[in-house]
Structure 1
Amino acid sequence: MTPTIPELTDRARDVFRIVVESFLDSGVPVGSRTIAQVSGLNLSPASIRTVMQDLEEAGLLAAPHTSAGRMPTETGLRLFVDGMMHAVAPSEQERAAIGAGAAQRGPVEEAIAATTAALSGLSSCAGLVLVPKREPRLRQFGFVPLGNNRALAVLVGEDGSVENRVVDLPPGMDPAALTTAANYLTAMLAGATLSEARTRITREIADERAALDRASRTLVERGLAVWSEDGGHRPVLIVRGQANLIEPQATADLDRIRGLLDELEGKEEIARLLDSARQGDAARIFIGSENKLFALSGSSVIAQPVRALDGRVVGVVGVIGPTRLNYARVVPMVDFTAATLARLLA
């Protein structure tokens, strides 16, 4: 049975804290001589070794091989994060960097991506953001002939965003019908979201109030159909900074890194993992095998819901990196990023 913090002696707590903090800082197992030299505990290396052995038997520390120092186990990291970690607030420069990403002009997705990239760079992890797909207010709709009975349907949003879809045309479609349908859709879509415009246009066509000939009506229906209802509600997952996961000292651990990068390609699974963090008020921390998705790659995930002023969850932000994360620094950084994105997504 894993001991709790109060069950550890003062000496064991001090040694355990030093081992964990030193390992998270350096990534190197910590030996008794190192602790004796830097800790100020006034303990001999032999006494420290005895304490470390007790901590190892309790499942909190482990030795990668016989002659090495000790490093925290996943159980030990969980105990440290939950009961001993002293959070460090982001610096003024770190806050400014995250805020600058959110202040970027253009479509909101680009600002979210820039904020995610800033979080990734500052935390030296891969940054993750899961947000609902936002429907922009629309400005213009057009058709561009492609030949072979196909055309490109183009949607332009008021925020400058552009989306394209390929539409199949009925054989022998008069090019004038493309212009007629595009003009009609632009008039009907202007200032509305796609779902709002779809409802309005469907009703007009059903009531035969749309001033369209049969060919143009067919084109309007096909133009709307290529944007499926599912696409409007599917969440958007933004991942930035995957290169941060490849540490210079990780050359002997390339299989783990390769597995982690493969897992990041499975966006549906990551989206599901982040979505599981929506219910909490604070960050959720998944350490190593605590999460099945990243169990084999030995990675940790910190995820926090993004809440609007009215309490609605409007997204989830987080990072993924090695279990040797500076949790005390990164957790508050994720929290600040969540607050920044809340203002952007409100």
Structure 2
Amino acid sequence: MTSAPVSELTDRARDIFRVVVESYIESGQPVGSRTISKLSALNLSPASIRNVMQDLEEFGLLAAPHTSAGRMPTESGLRLFVDGMMQAAEPSAQERAAIESQVQGAGPIEEALAGATAALSGLSACAGLVLVPKREPILKQFGFVQLSRQQALAVLVGSDGSVENRVVELPMGMTPSMLSEAANFMSATLSGLTLSEARLRMERDIGRDRQALDAAAHELITRGLAVWSEDGAQRPVLIVRGQANLIDADTAADLDRVRQLLDELEGKEEIARLLDSARSGASTRIFIGSENKLFSLSGSSVIAAPYRGQDGRVIGVVGVIGPTRLNYARVVPMVDFTAQTLSRLIG
């Protein structure tokens, strides 16, 4: 069944369709003709409204659950509404302030991204999502803390304020003074480079550096850089906050769907790929239900917008996931504003 474009609907059909969608988004319940006659100023009898709703159902825009005489929008209907009829509402001053305080009040970029997801989750009553930029930190400072005769904690401080710790195996014969020597050498020689650049520098200058650096210290540096680099490829690229928001009075009645959605969120690689597809968009993208096979069972929607780095290139995506009856008119501008705020912060 092919859905009709907005241009093919009569004014009466558009008005009734809008009321059905907006009422369904607000209540989560099918909408009946009597409800529409009371809510709207159409001056139509319930019988006339039922006839129009029947037409909309034949167009594939509305559906009638078998337990109710009311209608609810199909995914095709929601898509038609979002693309052709929705009137977006700009975030309020309070919403903008809440997002900016969470994002700009953070320290390292990872905290700002986590703050963005927390803000979106709280304001939208959905789960907040952010795809962390796939980039290596610029190295600033290094340190080693001896844990035992065999192990030390290697501490890396990035130029953006991020701090990462890794446990490394110590070469035989390492002493506290040699740990300090290695840390001082790394901070002086490798600061301002990425991890991959630092490894190349160490490999290229290995002969010359060995003359100025103890062999064991040199081996420790090489091990530390290798641990950070190898682990960096495996670190999570997706931050999810507010999963509990996905379980409300309406969704709790359909535990299988809720369970399926939570399982989908556990598969972060799949979600990350979905968000990654929004990188190419110039603005906010909306994925409704089974339009994406990932959510064909849970019937969820994702709203996602790209954010940019200093050079204007897209480096990540921020968004929310929730039921298909999201308040798109409110949440879409909210996600877009969050992406703009992150772009200003990072840029």
Give TM class, smaller chain: over 0.9
The answer for the alignment partner of 1:280 in structure 2 is: 281
CA contact (8 A) 2:305 2:339 kept: yes
Cα distance, 1:201 vs structure 2: 2.8
Q: Deviations over 1:315-346 (max 9, x none)?
A: 21111100000111111111111111111122
Counterpart of 1:53 in 2: which secondary structure? helix
Corresponding position of 2:242? 241
- TM-score (norm: length of structure 2): 0.92
CA-CA distance at 1:69 after TM superposition: 0.8
After superposition, give the CA deviation of every residue in 1:204-234 in whole Å (9 maximum; x if it has no partner): 2144555122222221211111112672697
What is the CA-CA distance between 1:160 and the residue it aligns to? 4.0
Structure 1 stretches of 5 or more lacking a match?
none
Moved more, 316-325 or 131-140: 131-140
Mapping for residues 284-295 of structure 1, pairs under 5 Å: 284-295=285-296
AA matched with 2:321: I
Q: Is the 8 A contact 1:256 1:296 kept in 2?
A: yes
Q: TM-score, normalised by structure 1?
A: 0.92
Task: State whether residues 133 and 235 of structure 1, in contact with CA within 8 Å, keep that contact through their aligned partners in structure 2.
Answer: no
Q: How is 1:45-56 mapped onto 2 (pairs within 5 angstroms)? A: 45-56=46-57
Which structure 2 residues correspond to residues 129-168 of structure 1 after superposition, within 5 A? Answer: 129-147=130-148, 149-168=150-169
C-alpha contact (below 8 Å) 1:63/1:71 kept by paired residues = yes
Aligned residue number for residue 102 of structure 1: 103
Which whole-Å CA distance do the structure 2 matches of 1:237 and 1:139 have between them? 25
Corresponding position of 1:38: 39
Q: Letter of the aligned partner of 1:12 in structure 2?
A: A
In the alignment, what sits opposite 2:77?
Answer: 76
Q: Which residue number corresponds to residue 213 of structure 1?
A: 214
Structure 2 counterpart of 1:343 = 344
Query: Could you tell me how far apart the structure 2 residues matched to 1:230 and 1:276 are?
Result: 25
Of 170-179 and 332-341, the range deviating more from structure 2:
170-179
Q: Quote the sequence identity (%).
A: 73
Corresponding residue number in structure 2 for 1:317:
318
Q: CA deviation at 1:92?
A: 1.0
> What amino acid is aligned across from residue 18 of structure 1 in structure 2?
V
Q: Residue 87 of structure 1 contacts residue 331 of structure 1 at CA under 8 Å; is this kept in 2?
A: yes
- The Cα offsets for residues 147-187 of structure 1, whole Å up to 9 and x where unpaired, read as 36222222133544321112123455455433332332233
Change (3 A) 1:149 1:205: same
The aligned runs of 1:295-310 (5 Å cut-off) are 295-308=296-309
Q: The residue matched to 2:65 in structure 1 has which SS?
A: coil
Change in 2 beyond 3 A, CA 1:322/1:267: same
1:135 and 1:232 in contact (8 A); partners too: no
> Counterpart of 1:59?
60
* SS at structure 1 position matched to 2:131: strand
Equivalent position amino acid for 1:59 in 2:
G
Rounded to whole Å, the distance in 1 between the matches of 2:251 and 2:236 is 33
- Does the aligned pair in 1 maintain the 2:142–2:154 contact within 8 Å? yes
2:22 aligned with 1:21, yes or no? Answer: yes
Instruction: Give structure 2 stretches of 5+ with no counterpart.
Output: none
**Corresponding pairs, count:** 346
Aligned residue in 2 for 1:189: 190
CA-atom RMSD in angstroms: 2.2
Matches of 1:146 and 1:308, distance apart in 2: 38
Once structures 1 and 2 are overlaid, which stretch shifts more, 269-278 or 311-320?
311-320
- Amino acid of the residue matched to residue 216 of structure 1? A
Query: Alpha-carbon deviations, 1:31-89, whole Å to 9, x = none?
Result: 11111111111111111111111211221111112543110011111111111111111
Question: Are the counterparts in 1 of residues 173 and 216 from structure 2 also a CA contact under 8 Å?
Answer: no
Q: In structure 2, what residue type is equivalent to 1:99?
A: E
CA distance in 2, matches of 1:217, 1:201: 9
Structure 1 pair 308/152, CA: closer, same or farther in 2 (3 Å)?
Answer: closer
Equivalence for 2:12: 11
On the 8 A contact 2:109/2:162 being kept in 1, the answer is no
Q: 1:305, 1:313 within 8 Å by CA — same for their partners in 2? A: yes
Secondary structure of 1:276's match? helix
Q: Which amino acid aligns with 2:252?
A: T
Which amino acid is the alignment partner of residue 40 of structure 2?
Answer: S
Q: What is the letter of the counterpart of residue 289 of structure 2?
A: G
Shift of 1:122: 1.1
**Secondary structure, counterpart of 1:90 in structure 2:** coil
- Residue 212 of structure 2 aligns to a residue whose secondary structure is coil
> 1:309 Cα deviation (Å)?
7.2
Alpha carbons 1:204, 1:210 under 8 Å: kept: no
Cα 1:344–1:234 change in 2 (3 A) is farther
The aligned counterpart of 2:119 is 118
Give 1:303's aligned amino acid: A
Q: Give the superposition deviation at 1:270.
A: 1.0
CA contact (8 A) 2:199 2:222 kept: no
